[in-house]
Amino acid sequence: MTTRWLTPEEQRAWRAYLGATLLLEDALDRQLQQEAGMPHMYYSILANLSEAPERRLRMTDLAELLKITRSRLTYAVGRLEKDGLVRREECPQDKRGSVAALTEEGFATVERLAPGHVETVRATLFDQLTPRQVGQLEEIFTGVAQALQGEDAGGASGDVPWRRRSPPCS
Amino acid sequence: MTTRWLTPEEQRAWRAYLGATLLLEDALDRQLQQEAGMPHMYYSILANLSEAPERRLRMTDLAELLKITRSRLTYAVGRLEKDGLVRREECPQDKRGSVAALTEEGFATVERLAPGHVETVRATLFDQLTPRQVGQLEEIFTGVAQALQGEDAGGASGDVPWRRRSPPCS
Strands B99-102 and B86-89: antiparallel
Name the residue facing A148 among B5, B20, B142 (closest C-beta).
B20
Whether residues A129 and B140 touch (CB distance < 8 A) is answered with: yes
The CATH classification of domain B14-123, taken from the options 3.30.70.360, 1.10.10.10, 3.50.50.60, 1.10.10.60: 1.10.10.10
Whether residues A9 and B134 touch (CB distance < 8 A) is answered with: yes
| Residues A162/A67, Cβ–Cβ less than 8 Å | yes
Please report, rounded to a whole number, the percentage of residues in chain B having pLDDT higher than 90.
78
pLDDT tops 80 at residue B168:
no
* Nearest chain B alpha carbon to A22: B67
User: Could you give the CA distance from residue B90 to residue B62 in angstroms, rounded to a whole number?
Assistant: 15
For the stretch A42-55, pLDDT in tens is 999 999 999 999 99
Name the residue facing B156 among A21, A123, A142 (closest C-beta).
A123
Domain ranges of chain B: 14-123
> What is the rounded radius of gyration, in angstroms, for the C-alpha atoms of chain B?
18
pLDDT tops 90 at residue B3:
no
Kindly list the residues from chain B whose CB atom is less than 8 angstroms away from the CB atom of residue A31.
none
Kindly list the residues from chain A whose CB atom is less than 8 angstroms away from the CB atom of residue B131.
9
* Nearest chain B alpha carbon to A5: B118
- Beta-carbon contacts below 8 Å between A and B: 174
User: Could you give the CA distance from residue A165 to residue A82 in angstroms, rounded to a whole number?
Assistant: 23
For the stretch B11-22, pLDDT in tens is 999 999 999 999
pLDDT tops 50 at residue B133:
yes
Predicted pLDDT at B161: 87
Kindly list the residues from chain A whose CB atom is less than 8 angstroms away from the CB atom of residue B14.
121, 125-126
Predicted pLDDT at A156: 46
Predicted pLDDT at B155: 41
What's the pTM value of the predicted model, to 2 decimals?
0.88
Q: Find the largest Cα–Cα distance for chain B.
A: 57
For the stretch B63-88, pLDDT in tens is 999 999 999 999 999 999 999 999 99
Mean pLDDT value across residues B93-101: 76
Whether residues B136 and A141 touch (CB distance < 8 A) is answered with: no
| Residues A102/A51, Cβ–Cβ less than 8 Å | no
User: Could you give the CA distance from residue B142 to residue B72 in angstroms, rounded to a whole number?
Assistant: 24
For the stretch B26-58, pLDDT in tens is 999 999 999 999 999 999 999 999 999 999 999
Whether residues A3 and B119 touch (CB distance < 8 A) is answered with: yes
Nearest-neighbour CA in chain B from A95: distance (Å): 30
Predicted pLDDT at B170: 40
**Helix A59-66 to helix A70-82 angle, to the nearest 10 degrees?**
110
Predicted pLDDT at B160: 85
Under-50 pLDDT residues of chain A = 153-156, 166-170
B61: Cβ–Cβ under 8 A, 6 or more apart, which residues?
none
